[in-house]
Amino acid sequence: MSDPRAALGILISGRGSNMQRLLDAVDAGEIDASVALVLSDNADAAGLSLAAERGVATCAVARSDFSSKPEWEHAVDAVLRDAGANLLALAGFMRVLSADFCAKWHGHLVNIHPSLLPRHKGLNTHQRALDAGESNAGCSVHFVTAELDGGPVIAQSEVAINVADTADTLAERVLAKEHLLYPQAIGWCASGRVALTGSEVQFDGRKLDGPIRV
């Protein structure tokens, strides 16, 4: 019989610290899923070796090996589907995915972003929060859509910004929150408790009026 659980595809570009937390959560039974594949756009990503050491299937699909972004995305899509993945978690994946790719995986493509969305989409989130004089920062788990960091938010976790904070010290505390938030949110998605209907996030069959605060 085939495994009825969700099959997780984890996409990384570097060390994959959130990937490691997801693998830990799967091993501990906190996420009711199997891990189909860890895929990277970078053959030298440290996270690939870490995943392989744990017996997880890995694959590198380098953008430089393809003449166009659509060809590369087609290859990524094919590898993930061949592996049996049906839920994708971006974990430090540094490529912007096209509207076409996002549409193919609508409701099954999730990302964690190091800010309290919709604040500070894109890069350098911690320094931008400091420059704006904000009192809090945090991270957000959201469904991925064609708009960069603009998909419906599932859950958020917050940290206070201290007077002495630098971008590095703030990033360290936010990352600790990411490592707690992401496995919990992916677990909800894997079990079907969280679902995306159109542009509406539902939790246990009811529309969320705002992100779940963790």
Structural domains of the chain, with CATH: 6-213 (3.40.50.170)
Contact call for residues 188 and 203 (beta carbons, < 8 A)? yes
Residue with tokens 């409701």: 107
The pLDDT value given to residue 143: 98
CA gap 114, 125 in Å, rounded: 7
Enzyme catalytic residues = 113
Residue with tokens 């408790």: 193
Give me the sheet containing 87-90, strands edge to edge.
58-60, 33-40, 6-12, 87-90, 109-113, 136-143, 153-160, 212-213
Q: Is the pLDDT confidence value at 129 over 50? A: yes
Q: Is the pLDDT confidence value at 1 over 50? A: no
Output the six-digit token pair for 133. 């004089």
Rounded average pLDDT over 70-74:
98
Max distance between CA atoms of the chain, in angstroms, equals 57
Strand partners, 39: 11, 59
Strand partners, 202: 195, 207
Q: Is the pLDDT confidence value at 2 over 60? A: no
CA distances from 69 to 99, 149, 153 (A): 12, 19, 27
pLDDT bucket at 5, cuts 50 / 70 / 90: confident
Q: Is the pLDDT confidence value at 80 over 80? A: yes
Q: Is the pLDDT confidence value at 3 over 80? A: no
Q: Is the pLDDT confidence value at 15 over 60? A: yes
pLDDT bucket at 94, cuts 50 / 70 / 90: very high
Q: Identify the burial level of 185 via C-beta atoms within 10 angstroms of its C-beta, where 0-12 means exposed, 13-18 middle and 19 or more buried.
A: buried
Beta strands in 21-134 (DSSP E): 33-40, 58-60, 87-90, 109-113
Percent of the chain beyond pLDDT 90? 98
Rg (CA), the chain: 17
Rounded average pLDDT over 108-131:
98
